[in-house]
A = this chain, B = another copy of it.
Amino acid sequence: MPELRKDPVLGRWIIIASERGKRPTDFVIAETPTIGGFCPLCPGNENTTPHEVLVYGRESYNPDSPGWLVRVVPNKYPALVIEGDLNREGEGLYDKMNGIGAHEVIVESPRHEDAFSELPTDHMLLVFKAFQHRIRDLEHDNRFRYVLVFKNFGKAAGASLEHSHSQLVALPVLPRKIESELAGALTYYKYKERCVYCDIIHQELKQDVRVVCKNKHYITITPFAPRTPFEMWVLPLNHSSAYHEQTEEQLRALAEIFSESLCRLDACIPNVPYNFVLHTQPLRSRYMEHFHFHFEIVPKLTSIAGFEWGSGFYINPMSPEKAASYLRESLERIS
């Protein structure tokens, strides 16, 4: 059983998911992505994954068979396991609990070679719907406090399978980053009685130097204090703390802006590895006036991922204004 452990100074939780029998050198992963070979996420291989928990697009009732457009399955090598009790306990001054949670894979397309950024809007919409659907479903499990939705694209960003997919982890604790964000946003709200993200959007629209693109419902900006070149945040223009409450019309606009933002990024640095993470409210929260859900898209540029994540201190060799101007011009340059 995996274990959740808390750092006694920082309060940071980490998952110890021991893989039995691994030797130390097994943790060094080759940099070159495996291309070709057997793919467990391709149609026809449904029986090699755990049973699907959600599927879109298949017309017949034949679970775990081809014909789907988007398919969600439990991770075969989960970081957390779904069955059991949390069993919170101490070990001297340390705190730990059983690694109870859900770890699921959202297979974004049946076509092995599809890139997420190139999915047609109608199809990408299904992926964003699947995120909502799974969050709503997992919210009923009182053991869980948060659903972390994320995507690793490219080996350097942590993707271990080539077939386009994203992941979610339902957690019995709040990730520290989300906790800090909620706390920071609440402090601002108490002082100003306004949502800090709404103020950010307002200022970005006015200054118009870090706006990458926008549509009726969403805006993509390069944040004022980005960790990496080309970091982007995608935010809803209207205040909302809960991603899973977005309407279908809104999600369609989200698919459009996501697709555009990623294509602009790809035009600047072709095939750049990236991570995106959804920052939304904790499960079973009431409407939060101080928090504003958003996605953070962080390109993985190996040159600057050195000591930064160990020290919490980032050196970014490109201003967000410069990055935004590249991103704004990128598609125009190509066409």
Partner of A314 from B8, B15, B307, B320 at Cβ < 8 Å: B15
A207 CB-CB contact with B under 8 Å: yes
Q: CB-CB < 8 A to A308: which residues of B?
A: 158, 309
Q: CB-CB < 8 A to A226: which residues of B?
A: 14
Smallest CB gap from A267: residue in B: B24
B28 contacts A301, C-beta separation under 8 Å: yes
Interface string of A144-173 (1 = CB under 8 A from B): 000010111001111110000000010100
13 additional A-B pairs beyond A11-B184, A28-B272, A158-B308, beta carbons within 8 Å, are A5-B225, A9-B184, A9-B196, A14-B227, A18-B318, A22-B317, A27-B229, A27-B269, A31-B31, A91-B224, A152-B307, A156-B302, A160-B303
Task: Please report whether the interface of chain A is mostly helix, strand, loop or mixed according to DSSP.
Answer: mixed
Partner of A317 from B27, B199, B304 at Cβ < 8 Å: B27
Task: Specify how many copies of this chain sit in the oligomer.
Answer: 2
Kindly state the separation between the CA atoms of A303 and B185 in the bound complex, as whole angstroms: 32
A53 CB-CB contact with B under 8 Å: no
Kindly state the separation between the CA atoms of A199 and B93 in the bound complex, as whole angstroms: 8
Q: CB-CB < 8 A to A302: which residues of B?
A: 28-29, 31, 155-156
Q: How far is the CB of A48 from chain B (nearest CB, A)?
A: 22
B309 contacts A181, C-beta separation under 8 Å: no
Using CB atoms and an 8 Å cutoff, list the residues of chain A in contact with chain B.
3, 5-19, 22, 24-25, 27-29, 31, 79, 91-94, 148, 150-152, 155-160, 169, 171, 175-178, 180-181, 184-185, 188, 196-197, 199-200, 203, 206-207, 223-227, 229-230, 268-270, 272, 275, 277, 296, 298, 300-320, 322, 326
A175/B15 contact (C-beta < 8 A), A10-B184, A269-B25 known: no
